[in-house]
Amino acid sequence: MRTLIVGDVHGCLDELKDIVDSFGLVLGKDRIFQTGDMINRGPHSLGSLEFARECGIQSVLGNHESRLIQIWETPAHARNPKEDAFLKRLGGNLEHIYELVKNWPLWIDDRDFTLVHAGIQPGKSSLEDMDRKVLLTVRTWDGVGKDLDSPKDPPWFSCVKWPRTVVFGHWALGGLVVQPGFRGLDSGCVYGKSLSAWCPEEDRIYQVAARHEYSRLH
């Protein structure tokens, strides 16, 4: 049995298939996880979710899935234009997408790793005590958790001690992170860079090139 944890897919179905192939996933034997943000920005949100279900991929919730859930649960007449635009970008079948992501957990705590979308909260020793917004969106740590993305502050993972390897995504600009105790797997596939994954048993990074620049990094 091997394990593969795949970074932020963002609708890049072809690259998701490529990385599963390059790993040589054995269905029914190997385990496969994903860092969240499976949907949006790229071309195949629903296709990626359906493929993920076929392969038994277990995902944590990303900020994009969390936003979809929040908007979908808002009555249509109460949605603002930004929220409507967000739904439109997902390309239809929204009820189906919603059903597929609504029960994803905020974290998966395994014997060998802790999987979260963005990061874990410095100063807390229990995942239950952490702020949902931090788990879903943190990049940098200002000491209190007010500004979670300031270039003046250090990355959250330089402020954290954790008993297992923390595996996360969400920071395409920061790129792949391979440090003792931390694996950051968002290497910007949807921005035309690459899709990355980590196998804990082999301690090996798998990577496939993006076939296109689907979205602009800003």
Contact positions vs Mn ion (CB under 5 A)? 37, 62-63, 170
CB of residue 137 vs Mn ion: minimum separation in angstroms?
7
Which residue type does 12 have? Answer: C
Nearest distance in Å: CB 37, Mn ion: 4
Q: Tell me how far, at minimum, the Cβ of 4 lies from Mn ion, in Å.
A: 20
Which is nearer to Mn ion, 44 or 170 (by Cβ)? 170
Pairing, β 31-34 against β 58-59 = parallel
Q: How near is the Cβ of 135 to Mn ion at its closest, in Å? A: 11
Q: How far is the CB of 199 from Mn ion (least distance, A)?
A: 22
Least Cβ distance, residue 70 to Mn ion (angstroms): 14
**Dist CA 109 CA 165 (whole Å):** 10
Quick one: 173 or 178, whose CB is closer to Mn ion? 173
For Mn ion, give the closer residue by CB, 62 or 200: 62
Instruction: Select 15 or 37, whichever has its Cβ closest to Mn ion.
Output: 37
Closest residue to Mn ion, Cβ-based? Answer: 170
127 φ, ψ to 5°? -60, -35
Cα(191)–Cα(68) distance, integer angstroms? 21
- Dihedral of the CA atoms 34, 205, 208, 92 (nearest 10)? 10
Nearer to Mn ion, 25 or 36 (CB): 36
Residue 113: phi, psi to the nearest 5? -155, 160
Q: Smaller CB distance to Mn ion: residue 25 or 44?
A: 44
Phi-psi region of 110 (alpha: psi -120 to 50; beta: other; left: phi over 0): beta
